[in-house]
A = this chain, B = another copy of it.
């Protein structure tokens, strides 16, 4: 028995070593986030290596409720610019920006000139329009984001309208869209995105993020950001800006990054039978433009045990910044009664707004849900699956967290 046992032990040790080798081999094939992007936190979840897509684990996101640092901010590249996989800044030297289309005077700018123009700062939610996608049932195409494809960051740079004014540029009457092109340097794939001309009001040529040079992986040296718009619209490494009469026609404008809609009608999304495909066109869908109203519960976290009977529930909420949030409400009985949380700050905000509520809860298991409500009456669906769409965009269902009161 002892001999056998020893042999068995050796056999299992051998198997263990083999498994270890396999696991090491896999580790070499699946680099960690910090290996893919210099300076990123190794705890980011690698959803794709090429293009690079990194998700912020939810506990890490919740640990920075004021502002999301560059080390943990999610990455959703559609294009990887060779040499730009770093959280450090990128050189403005030699970077040029073309501005044209339906304007009286097209021009080309040395991007470094932007440093001598008036700088403007905006804190805004940056969120992939696929954030929350994995909560759709059945599963959709696209990176399986949980809730970590979002962050709250501060951009600083030059307002696009200030740049136009400094150059004496006037828009044509038919300039209905701002169409931005990313750089093709190093043979990068084409990336073009159009937003409505209304976005010009807040459009910013961002050079800095969170007080430091804009990280190369987040679009440095120059990113055209539109506060209140989903991530995809904020074109990284911007090389050309055109004012156009129509939306651009490349795949990232149509059929990608769109949801079924009745154009120009007052419904956020036209619900579809989950699982069915949809014949996307410019006239039966709308782009992922304005960030959908949403709220996240940062504490308690799922599965946690907390002290009672007074339980602090807190999180963040946001909309597109076009109108103020009116309230965030929480419920612990599935929505039969809702209690208004305290919002930190009032007024319009492109950044997320913190909220908190103190609930009196008996010992045992509880589920808390939260919803935001804004001044034009927009709120969140109780069941986010109502917005099911085949590419899984714009999930903003009410968040549920189950926890135990000790």
Q: Is the CB of A373 within 8 A of B379?
A: yes
Could you tell me the distance between the alpha carbons of A7 and B60 in the complex, rounded to whole angstroms?
Answer: 93
In the complex, which residues of chain B have a beta carbon less than 8 angstroms from the beta carbon of A381?
326, 375-377
Task: Give 16 new A-B contacts, CB below 8 A, not counting A261-B264, A269-B376, A377-B386.
Answer: A196-B265, A262-B290, A263-B263, A264-B264, A265-B290, A266-B292, A266-B320, A266-B378, A268-B378, A270-B322, A326-B381, A335-B340, A375-B381, A375-B383, A377-B380, A379-B379
Q: Is A176 an interface residue (CB 8 A)?
A: yes
Question: Are B340 and A336 in contact, with the CB atoms below 8 A?
Answer: yes
When distances are taken between beta carbons in the complex, the residues of chain B under 8 Å from A387 are 376
Nearest CB on B from A180, distance (A): 17
Helix, strand, loop or mixed for chain A's interface?
A: loop
A293 at the interface (CB under 8 A from B): yes
Most buried by B among A267, A292, A381: A267
Complex contact B263–A196 (CB within 8 A) = yes
Q: Is the CB of B376 within 8 A of A267?
A: yes
Chain B contacts of A322 at CB under 8 A? 267, 270-271
Chain A positions 298 through 320: 1 when the CB is less than 8 Å from some CB of chain B, otherwise 0: 00000000000000000000001
- Does A339 count as interface, using CB distance less than 8 angstroms? yes
Q: A176-B283, A262-B196, A286-B266 are in contact. Are A386 and B378 (CB under 8 A)?
A: no
- Contact residue among B196, B264, B267, B337 (Cβ-Cβ distance under 8 Å from A339): B337
Q: In the complex, which residues of chain B have a beta carbon less than 8 angstroms from the beta carbon of A265?
A: 196, 198, 286, 289-290
**28 examples of A-B residue contacts, CB within 8 angstroms:** A196-B265, A198-B265, A262-B289, A262-B290, A265-B290, A266-B268, A266-B269, A266-B378, A267-B323, A267-B376, A267-B378, A268-B376, A268-B377, A269-B376, A271-B323, A271-B375, A326-B382, A327-B335, A337-B337, A337-B339, A337-B340, A373-B382, A375-B381, A375-B382, A376-B387, A377-B396, A378-B379, A379-B379
- The answer to whether the Cβ of A329 comes within 8 Å of any Cβ in the partner chain is yes
| Chain multiplicity (copies) | 2
Name the contact of A377 in the complex, choosing from B337, B376, B378 (C-beta under 8 A): B378
Q: Which residue of chain B is the closest to A263 with respect to CB atoms?
A: B264
In the assembled complex, the CB of A336 is this many whole angstroms from the nearest CB of chain B, namely 5
Min CB–CB distance A267 → chain B (angstroms): 6
Chain A contacts with B in 346-377, Cβ cutoff 8 A: 373, 375-377
Q: Which residues of B contact A268 (CB under 8 A)?
A: 266, 376-378
User: Which residues of A250-282 have CB atoms within 8 Å of chain B's CB atoms?
Assistant: 261-271
